[in-house]
Amino acid sequence: MSTKKNGMSLRNAYLVGFLLSLLLTLCSYSLVTRHTFNNATTMALIASLAVIQLAVQLIFFLHLDREKRPHWNLLTFLLTVGVLIILVFGSLWIMSNLDYNMHPRSDTEEYIIKDEGFHKN
């Protein structure tokens, strides 16, 4: 996992990873505190910054790029990411549906009229 690749030494890799992570953290912090954009845009931006920082730390701290074939660490990581996405977004999806359908009857009727275009006779 840690054989020296031509190019950057491990010491420099840690240093670059540290500085990049610091920069990304400060970027997302100032985006939130300065309210440069509206909430939805800021959320999308800082979520992307978090994913970039994940990649930075996987490469420069955990050295996934230096792994020899057959890249078991990378493959198991990607599988885990698949599980995580299903778990998190699946939960959000199911629970928002439940929330929608489990409201008191009068609320549900209002929603149906509003969202689905059905009308009471």
Partner 1 sequence: MKTPPAQLDKTTFGFWLYLMTDCVLFASLFATFAVLRANTAGGPSGKDIFDLPFVLTETVLLLTSSFTSGMALLAARAKVHKQVFFWLSATFLLGAAFLFMEMREFTHIVSEGHGWRMSAFLSSFFTLVGTHGAHIAVGLIWMFVMMFRFSASKISANDLRRLTLFTMFWHFLDIVWIFIFTIVYMFGALS
Q: For residue 24, what are its two tokens?
A: 């990304």
Decide: is 83 part of the binding site for partner 1 (CB under 8 A).
yes
Q: For residues 11 and 119, which CB has a smaller minimum distance to partner 1 in the complex?
A: 11
**36 DSSP 8-state letter:** -
Using CB under 8 A, which of 8, 21, 27, 66 touches partner 1? 21
* C-alpha to C-alpha distance for 67 and 112, rounded to whole angstroms: 54
Does 42 help bind partner 1 (rule: CB under 8 A)? yes
Q: Quickly tell me which residue has 């609320």 as its tokens.
A: 107
**Is 21:54 a contact under the CB 8 Å cutoff?**
no
What span, in angstroms and rounded, lies between the C-alpha atoms of 93 and 98?
9
Binding site for partner 1 (CB under 8 A): 1, 10-11, 14-15, 17-18, 21-22, 25, 28-29, 32-33, 39, 42-43, 46-47, 49-50, 53-54, 57-58, 61-62, 72-73, 76-77, 79-80, 83-84, 87-88, 90-92, 95
